[in-house]
Structure 1
Amino acid sequence: MLLEVIAYTPEDAVLAVQGGADRIEWIADPLSGGVTPDLSQAAQMRSAVQVPIRVMVRTRGGSFVYTEDELRGMRRDIRRIQAVGGLDVVTGVLTPDGAVDTSALEELVNAGQRLAFTFHRAFDEAKPLHRALEVLSVYPQVTDILTSGGAKAAPKGASVIAELLRRSAITESKPAPPRILAGAGLTADNLRPFLDATHARRIHIGSAARFGGNPLARIDPQRISEIRRILQSHIEQR
Structure 2
Amino acid sequence: MIKEACVESFFEAKQAQDNGANRIELCSDLANDGLTPDFETMKKACSELDIPVMVMARPRAGNFVHSADEVEEMKAAIDQAKEAGAAGVVFGLLTPHNNIDEANTRLLAEYAEPLPVTFHKAIDELDDPVEGVRILKTIPNIKRILSSGGKATALEGQEVIRKMIAEAEGKITILVAGKVSHENVVEIQQITGTTELHGRRIVGDLSS
Band of TM-score, shorter chain: over 0.9
Using the TM superposition, give the Cα deviation of residue 91 of structure 1 relative to its aligned residue in structure 2, in angstroms: 0.4
SS at match of 1:40: helix
Using the TM superposition, give the Cα deviation of residue 194 of structure 1 relative to its aligned residue in structure 2, in angstroms: 2.6
- AA partner of residue 141 (structure 1): N
Structure 1: gaps of 5 or more residues:
170-175, 212-216, 220-238
Query: After superposition, where does 1:108-119 map in structure 2 within 5 Å?
Result: 108-119=108-119
Which position in structure 2 is the counterpart of 1:14? 14
Alpha-carbon distance in 2 for matches of 1:189, 1:77? 34
Give the structure with the higher percent helix.
1
Equivalent pair of 1:37/1:56 in contact (CA under 8 Å): yes
What is the RMSD computed on CA atoms of the aligned residues?
A: 1.7
Equivalent pair of 1:184/1:206 in contact (CA under 8 Å): no
Q: Radius of gyration: which is bigger?
A: 1
Alpha-carbon distance in 2 for matches of 1:209, 1:30? 17
Equivalent pair of 2:57/2:91 in contact (CA under 8 Å): yes
**TM-score normalised per structure 2:** 0.92
The one-character-per-residue Cα deviations of 1:219-238 (angstroms, maximum 9, x if unpaired) are 7xxxxxxxxxxxxxxxxxxx
**Structure 1 residues 209, 31: CA separation in 2 closer, same or farther (over 3 Å shift)?**
farther
| 2:4 aligned with 1:4 | yes
| 2:45 aligned with 1:45 | yes
- Please, which moves more after superposition, 103-112 or 52-61? 103-112
The one-character-per-residue Cα deviations of 1:124-156 (angstroms, maximum 9, x if unpaired) are 112322221011111231110000000011111
Using the TM superposition, give the Cα deviation of residue 108 of structure 1 relative to its aligned residue in structure 2, in angstroms: 1.3
Report the number of matched residues.
Answer: 208
Which position in structure 2 is the counterpart of 1:135? 135
Which position in structure 1 is the counterpart of 2:162? 162
Alpha-carbon distance in 1 for matches of 2:76, 2:97? 26
SS at match of 1:154: coil
**Structure 1 residues 192, 23: CA separation in 2 closer, same or farther (over 3 Å shift)?**
closer
- AA partner of residue 37 (structure 1): P
Alpha-carbon distance in 1 for matches of 2:93, 2:58? 9
| 2:190 aligned with 1:196 | yes
Which of the numbers 198, 218, 221 marks the counterpart of 2:207? 218
Which position in structure 2 is the counterpart of 1:147? 147
Using the TM superposition, give the Cα deviation of residue 210 of structure 1 relative to its aligned residue in structure 2, in angstroms: 5.1
- AA partner of residue 17 (structure 1): Q
The one-character-per-residue Cα deviations of 1:29-87 (angstroms, maximum 9, x if unpaired) are 11100000111332211112111110011011210001111111111111221223343
Structure 2: gaps of 5 or more residues:
none
- AA partner of residue 142 (structure 2): V
**Structure 1 residues 44, 188: CA separation in 2 closer, same or farther (over 3 Å shift)?**
closer
- AA partner of residue 28 (structure 2): A
- AA partner of residue 195 (structure 2): R
Using the TM superposition, give the Cα deviation of residue 7 of structure 1 relative to its aligned residue in structure 2, in angstroms: 1.8
**TM-score normalised per structure 1:** 0.81
**Structure 1 residues 44, 193: CA separation in 2 closer, same or farther (over 3 Å shift)?**
closer
Equivalent pair of 2:3/2:22 in contact (CA under 8 Å): yes
Using the TM superposition, give the Cα deviation of residue 189 of structure 1 relative to its aligned residue in structure 2, in angstroms: 3.8
